[in-house]
A and B are shown apart, each in its own frame.
Chain A
């Protein structure tokens, strides 16, 4: 079974704080993704990574950065948290395949920025 874990299920931070969200997968997947999910807006891709130390911007990278120092770990960083970053954050991972990939999601981190 693919297992994607995220460091926290619930997190409360204050405006201006630096926030680290950690994601770990145990299936040796090349690809890792960070999304946020908001009511009425569906899933939006923040950043993704095809390999260690590689990163690509998604649809909404502003206000976020990422780090992938090891294949199994992909971190999302909010440099200075703002209230509009209150959201459910989802990490996913997948194998690189021809055609399309099957992404497996973690349990999510519900972040509240006060």
Chain B
């Protein structure tokens, strides 16, 4: 059962903001929203996570809607090295289940 829905692919111009959406309409009150990315043939890289509030770190910002049914990951100034598959996961405890993700391609 997929807990999240993401577009299969997106393109972004280098230097522009990349906004990656995620729907999680069945999220439970104690589930966190996590984002990871995976560059081809490498291990997943943690980006950011949140429960209710918007979050920002050195890599990205996470915007969670008030009803928590969807979220958006924002890479403020995308570079070619941000080309990867981005996974949105809702989870609690140590459960870690990746869906198909969004393949983001950053173009020069």
Which A residues lie at the B interface, using CB under 8 A? 4, 31, 33, 35, 37, 42-43, 45, 48, 88, 90, 92, 94, 99-108, 110
Contacts and interface: CB of A to CB of B under 8 A. Distances in A.
Interface of B: 30, 32, 34, 36, 41-46, 49, 51, 91-94, 96-100
Nearest to B99: A42
Contacts of A101: 93-94
Contacts, number: 54
A103 B43 contact: no
Given A100-B91, A100-B92, A101-B93, 8 more contacts: A37-B98, A42-B98, A42-B99, A43-B44, A100-B32, A100-B49, A102-B49, A105-B36
A31 B51 CA distance: 22
Contacts of B43: 4, 90, 92, 105-108
What is the predominant secondary structure among interface residues of chain A facing chain B? strand
Contact of B44 (A94, A99, A105): A105
A101 B32 CA distance: 10
A108 B46 contact: no
Given A105-B43, A107-B42, A110-B41, A43 B30 contact: no
